[in-house]
Amino acid sequence: MFKKLKFIIYTQAFSVFAYYLIQVYSMTLRLRIVNEEKWQSLLKSDRPVLLCAWHQQLFSAIRHFRTYSKFHPGLMISQSRDGDLIAGVANKTGWHTPRGSSTRGGKNAMAAMIKHLNEYGFGTHLLDGPTGPVGKVKAGIIKMAQETNALVVPFYITVQKAWLFNSWDRFVLPKPFSKVTLTFGNTIQFPRDDDRQNFEAQRLLLETTMLPGLILKKTDFQIR
């Protein structure tokens, strides 16, 4: 029975079903967007922009991120079967999805993502995906920003009521009709630097910037 269920979940038809289910569910959320205009004005003036977030918080942004399809956004997704499902939903939302991760197909996916950023100038990266550890910024986003001269824009959510899953990423699912605020931080530029210590300093800077927005316990469910 479980094998049959997994087979259904990983079909294209289920991806379409999941897309519409997420859209309907997300419509119940009372969404508020903060500080979006600044980075969009940079993007419209042909400055590449790379949004970044923790893996746990992407669900809350799916509904609003559908409005970004006009910018031809890119999002690197793992080659796992779970990645197939996520990519199917993202493609329906208008997002391009180079496939790969740090553990499988990462080199080709990174090259495809860099090519996408150079061509269209816009994308999003999940800092700790696809397998964590939670709260650890991986090096890929720094390399992408350096190679494309993209400005990195952190974003994070605050939520009034949510379920916090016992998964590696502490996945956050806002409860229906909850207030959710999606906040974009200030832009960060990472100039090309081949020195390993300087590269690590850039990675740590982004990690330090992002950690306050990480949700790890139920007391973090509040609108600030």
The three-state (H, E, C) secondary structure of 124-155, written as one string: EEECCCCCCCCCCCCCHHHHHHHHHCCEEEEE
pLDDT at 1: 44
CA within 13 Å, CB half, 36: 11
Decide: helix, strand or coil at residue 31: strand
Q: Compute φ and ψ for 163, nearest 5 degrees.
A: -95, 135
Q: What is the pLDDT of residue 82?
A: 66
Q: Report the chain (224 residues): mean pLDDT per 10 consecutive residues.
A: 49 79 94 96 95 94 92 86 76 82 68 93 91 91 96 95 92 95 97 93 97 89 63
Dist. CA 86–CA 187, nearest whole Å = 27
pTM: 0.89
Q: In which residue are the tokens 């939520």 written?
A: 159
3-state secondary structure of 54: coil
Q: How far, in Å, CA of 129 to CA of 84, rounded?
A: 14
In the chain, where does DSSP find H-type helix?
Answer: 2-9, 12-26, 37-44, 58-65, 81-92, 106-120, 140-148, 196-210
What is 2-214's CATH number?
Answer: 3.40.1130
The answer to whether 221 and 162 have CB atoms below 8 angstroms apart is yes
